[in-house]
A and B are shown apart, each in its own frame.
Chain A
Amino acid sequence: MEELSLHILDLVQNSLRAAATKVEIFIKEDLTRDCFLLEVRDNGRGMPEDFVKEALSPFTTTRTTRRVGLGLSLLDMVARRCGGGVEIDTKLGKGTRVRAVFQHSHWDRAPLGDIKATLVAIIAANPKLSLIYKHRLGGRDFILDTEEIKGILGRDIPLNNMAVLGWLEEYIAQGLAHLYGGEEKDGNPKESG
């Protein structure tokens, strides 16, 4: 996968499969410490302890259709290649937090890519999910909280209404453009480093 935002989409799919109703995505780009942190936290069913140890192996999966799992091991592999790694924190019945760290300026670090498309895809297909996206860069934050938006929309209008999704797309694009301190181009905010 050529974008970190695709890994994020993949991590959120894991959360949904674990029956999560709440998912928080956190991205922190710390240029002074040359660190790119990506975190997905959910309130899903969690994983048993012995499973966690194996979760990063490509031969582990909860899926039943195929015996080989790829998502987490793939992320771990790319993070390691960029001087970082993946850490999993999970509690049965409580939830899971997956945290991936990369050296921000590393040659091999994939760009974040089209995070807007990732967020809109998640929201469009899972309007009931409570999703928070928090992106921090150089002292600035962009926060998207679907509960806040649902509060404004009221009960009659679902989050996956086409007009609402259109609004969301622009809202995210502009929030990110502001965060990166420039104009948005092709949904890919310019990356520094």
Chain B
Amino acid sequence: MATLKNLDDLRKLREQVKGELQERFGGEIKIIVGMGTCGIAAGAREVMTEILQELRTRNIDALITQTGCIGMCEREPLVDIERPGEKRVTYGRVTPKDVKRLVAEHVLHGRVVEDLVVARFDEEEE
């Protein structure tokens, strides 16, 4: 069993993270996961878990948020990715297996993963 995580560890971690925070650059990548009943039933939690894991492994700083049902239940789990200054893209029927690709292509390099796209947002629509 790994060393027990306790609140003292968290205090140590705080000091460590504080140092790293100053190196952050401006503009955050946003990732939005659909978490309505339809999304959850379709596997949104597992997708979210995988996204968090992948971001951590690759040491990527992104903001993860969630949304409820947006009326595209049959295409859940839905994941939106938005890079600073770029259009938001909605991906559908995302599985945990797709996450590595979405992160490597879109989140890191801004290359849209065409086969998973269900919608694109122009800035005027928002």
- Report A's interface with B, CB cutoff 8 A: 1, 6, 9-10, 13, 17, 63, 65-66, 69-71, 74, 114, 117-118, 120-121, 124-126, 148-149, 152-154, 156-157, 160-167, 170-171, 174, 177, 183
Contact = CB atoms under 8 A, between A and B. Distances in A.
Contacts of A171: 5-6, 10
Instruction: Classify the secondary structure of A's interface with B.
Output: helix
Interface residues of B, number: 42
A117 B10 contact: no
A90 to B, nearest CB: 19
Contacts of A156: 18, 21
Contact of A166 (B45, B56, B66): B56
A125 B10 contact: no
B98 interface: no
Interface string B1-43: 1101111011101101110110000000000010111101100
A184 B47 CA distance: 21
A63 B69 contact: yes
Interface stretch (B57-65, B85-93, B100-108, B111-119): B57-65
A1 B76 CA distance: 14
Which has the most chain A C-beta neighbours within 10 Å: B48, B55, B59?
A: B48
A164 B69 contact: no
A164 B9 CA distance: 10
A63 B68 contact: yes
Given A6-B41, A13-B68, A162 B55 contact: yes
